[in-house]
Amino acid sequence: MYNGVGLQTARGSGMNGFEDDQFTVGVSKKHNKAILEHEHKRQIHLKLAILEDKLVDQGYSDAEIAQKLEEARVNLEVAAAANEESVV
């Protein structure tokens, strides 16, 4: 408590007295390769799910959808690998 204002103790206030980024100023975080790879795979899966919905709406058979999804998966994985190599 300062000049009669504020809490008498920090107990139960939910405050520890530190800001979240107080000690990390100027420190850059390194990206975890496994997390980035997982995010890329998730993006590919999302694009394939959207494509599958479009193909179903257009009336393609299950066999045609499976074939087109496999082709799209290969193309997306190749593009992602090429993009990853260009970044490194």
Which pLDDT score is estimated for 31?
Answer: 76
Residue type, 17: G
pLDDT at 71: 96
Q: Averaged over 8-22, what is the pLDDT?
A: 58
Rounded mean pLDDT of the chain? Answer: 80
**pLDDT digit string, tens, across residues 26-65:** 556 677 888 888 999 999 999 999 999 999 999 999 999 9
What's residue 83's pLDDT? Answer: 79
CB atoms within 10 A of CB 76: 18
Give the start-to-end residue ranges of the domains of the chain: 33-87
Q: Which residue has the tokens 């090429």?
A: 82
pTM: 0.61
Over its C-alpha atoms, the chain yields an Rg (Å, rounded) of 25
